[in-house]
Chains A and B, each alone.
Chain A
Amino acid sequence: MAGPSEKNLLKPGVYYLQGNQACAEGAITAGCRVYAGYPITPASEIMEHAALRLPQVGGRFIQMEDEISSASVLLGASWAGAKAMTATSSPGFSLMQEVISFAIMTETPLVIVDVQRPGPGQGYITTSQEDVMQARWGHHGEGSIIALSPASVQEMFDFTIEAFNLAEQWRTPVLVMAEETVAHMREPLTIPPQDQIKVVNRKKPQDLGISPEEFLPYGHAMVPPMANWGEGYNVNHVSLVHHEDGNVTKYNRDIHLDSVSRIQQKIEGNTDHIARVETRFLEGCRHLVICYGSVSRTAVEAVMEARQERGIDLAFLRLVTLWPFPEKKLREIVRDVDTVFVPEMNLGMMKHPITEALRDRCNRIVPIPTLGALHSPEMILSKIYEELK
């Protein structure tokens, strides 16, 4: 890249930033040097900040003609060796699904931030968690996805870095499923010294001593090493079903099953390494609230109050990673509870994989849905009190 200017990274310290700005700073810290985007509320500040900051660190920013092209830019940038990101909001996220599918099949590391707003249609421009299923199932075909769910300005920074690290480590597209709440919130952000921030870079065939003659673009390992364009490895990126060497053949069941199972299993089979949950008061609890994203901020308050005011034996569990869904982890830590409450800013989406995971671990699951705005703690509490009367 042209004159990377480490000196223009944010100095360690405490800043007072908006979530969207923190996200863009996280990307830059992770090494993102190409940003492409198309304006949409409530995500636009990410691209505005990227437009300002990327040239300062030797990166390049471009405003594209739509979200399809914005996401497409990331493919070419990544193949040419850059870490690349785009951010959008829900209608734009719909337009990016084809690229996500291609990125999964070509095993292209890239990061897409979806600052969710309500739908369907243009909906509102307020907050939402209505794209969490689209994140997993919106792209055509098989293949898995990694999606993170930040709940604070600090996490908009931290999780964007983590998203790049996961993308590079697993050679796959990674989604940051933000919400307008955290995107427009302003809070203190602590930037640690650069040497305390973990930054992962993709494995290259050169690192493993693999010559261009021996190189298989989709071979060598569960996560194949990736050669950048311009380095003499003659890489063909193909999204047709392909052999390890990139060759496409007539329908071949073995190649089809092997290649597509591998790209699915490299994620699903490593869920324990990838997916995280956070818990409080879980040990031996009777009831449980499961939530994610900014809803966890009000949910944790509701849990504290129910425990203190009414002495209800209620625990808190937050999905930090939405996908791959940490089913095994959930089943390990939730053994035998009575009622599980699931507050979400949709009409009940993550409730489904939660129900599947806890099918024999709880007596009932009670969704607490709302649309377009955060639950108040009272909304969550009144449902809990009503159900546990």
Chain B
Amino acid sequence: MTRHPMLKYLKEKGPAGPRMPTIMCPGCGAGQVLNYTLHAVDEIIHNDGTRKEDFVFISGVGCSARLTSHYLNFDSGWTIHGRSLPIATGALLANPSLKIVVFTGDGDAMAIGGNHFIHTCRRNLDVTILCINNGLYGMTGGQVAPTTPTGTATATTPYGNMEEAFDLCKMAETSGASYVARWTTAHPRQTIKSIKKGIGKKGTAFIEILSQCPIHMKTPPVEMLRDFKANTVSINKSRGHGEDKILIGEFCHMERPEWTEKYQKILEQFD
């Protein structure tokens, strides 16, 4: 049997025994996001001389956060619900040469961690934020999230969600992120390319990846992936006739001075 090429970046077992299989449910999109991320990281390691040990993966709590748990054979922190970005901030202040990738869920990033999300983007700290947006709280049983579409019935909206959903990319862009993009798990090549760009960007890169939770959405994964294809339209092609569809693509790609670079100027005064 051929081994998956990305297994080299995972810890399959340790002194305490096997670490696999992962806890992800069959058909979950989180594993796809990990696969895309590792492909991007692999290309960066092979092509631009970044060392594997320069990468640090940080997450909070949630199904998406499990990607940095004990499977990953990198420096990583599987931390506090909503606080992955301040923790990444600390790591960056201690060592600005680290390549920090944050895995976060839609609830983790935008509900409990919403304030930190805004301020991380505003500061333009050099982190790549990969938000696995499954439109709900997967880990705790499918409750409503700030990203759940209006009308959806969930465990805590038995009469349908009456609130409006957040547009995470708009929030990232207005808050000051340097790179902002949205894809879905059904767009592997584009997602990998975006993650590479995001990691290469000096500043905050935010990439939202719409992902399927077949269990709580009670929909077969294949159908959800098909919907991701059918219900999205590229920002380059929309031209006003895709308003009923979800926009995907790169929303923002600019150069802005990054926090630690600016701080470096202060440090140099005292050299």
Contacts and interface: CB of A to CB of B under 8 A. Distances in A.
Chain A bound to chain B: yes
A5 B14 contact: no
Nearest to A83: B94
Interface residues of B, number: 50
B16 A247 contact: yes
A73 B86 contact: yes
A136 interface: no
A216 B16 CA distance: 10
Interface string B171-183: 0000000000000
A102 B82 CA distance: 13
Interface in B224-256: none
Nearest to A219: B15
A72 interface: yes
B87 interface: yes
Interface string B54-73: 10101000000000111011
Nearest to A243: B16
Given A76-B94, A232-B53, A248 B87 contact: no
Interface string A238-269: 11101111111100000100000000000000
Contacts of A76: 58, 77, 86-94
B119 to A, nearest CB: 5
Which of A60, A84, A238: most chain B CB closer than 10 A? A60
Nearest to B99: A230
B53 A230 contact: yes
A73 B264 contact: no
Contacts of B83: 68-69, 72, 99
A238 B78 contact: yes
A247 B70 contact: yes
Given A229-B75, A230-B54, A246 B70 contact: yes
A64 B125 CA distance: 13
Contacts of A247: 14-17, 19, 70
B97 interface: yes
Nearest to A214: B15
Interface of A: 1-3, 5, 8, 33-34, 36, 55-58, 60, 62, 64-66, 68-70, 72-82, 84, 98-99, 102, 216, 229-240, 242-249, 255
Given A232-B53, A233-B75, 7 more contacts: A3-B270, A33-B94, A36-B86, A60-B263, A66-B115, A79-B91, A234-B74
